[in-house]
């Protein structure tokens, strides 16, 4: 299998919130690994996660705008889209 990541990933075990619907909705998740350009998230809820959202880290790290790149029943892979803003759907 060919490695397609642009930067190495690092294992993580961080709490975070997936925020969408112009800040009106959020879901808890667990960040399982991080890279400069994205992350793998384990969802605590089976409710639908939109294709674009803000990710707020529980430890106070800067929030990131995310775009979903892949989904499984247990996790989602996201790419960081740039600086965070509240326009994420």
Return the CATH number at 22: 2.40.10.220
Query: What pLDDT is attached to residue 33?
Result: 95
Q: What is the pTM of this model?
A: 0.80
Residues in the chain: 89
d(CA 25, CA 36): 26
Whether residue 21 lies inside any domain: the answer is: yes
Whether residue 5 lies inside any domain: the answer is: no
Whether residue 2 lies inside any domain: the answer is: no
d(CA 82, CA 67): 10
Structural domains of the chain, count = 1
Query: What pLDDT is attached to residue 83?
Result: 59
Q: What value, to the nearest 5°, has the Cα angle with vertex 25 and ends 14 and 17?
A: 5
Nearest CA-CA partner of 66 in 34, 26, 38: 38
The model's pLDDT over 22-71, given as tens digits with 9 standing for 90+, comes to: 999 999 999 999 998 999 999 877 668 999 999 999 999 899 999 999 99
Looking at per-residue confidence, does 53 or 9 come out higher?
53
């Amino acid at each position: 299998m060919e490695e397609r990541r642009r930067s190495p990933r690092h294992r993580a075990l961080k709490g975070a919130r997936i925020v969408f619907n112009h800040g009106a909705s959020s879901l808890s998740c667990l960040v399982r690994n991080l890279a400069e350009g994205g992350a793998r998230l384990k969802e605590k809820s089976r409710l639908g996660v939109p294709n674009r959202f803000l990710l707020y880290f529980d430890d106070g790290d800067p929030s990131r705008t995310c775009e979903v790149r892949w989904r499984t029943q247990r996790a989602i892979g996201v790419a960081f889209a740039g600086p965070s803003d509240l326009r994420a759907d």
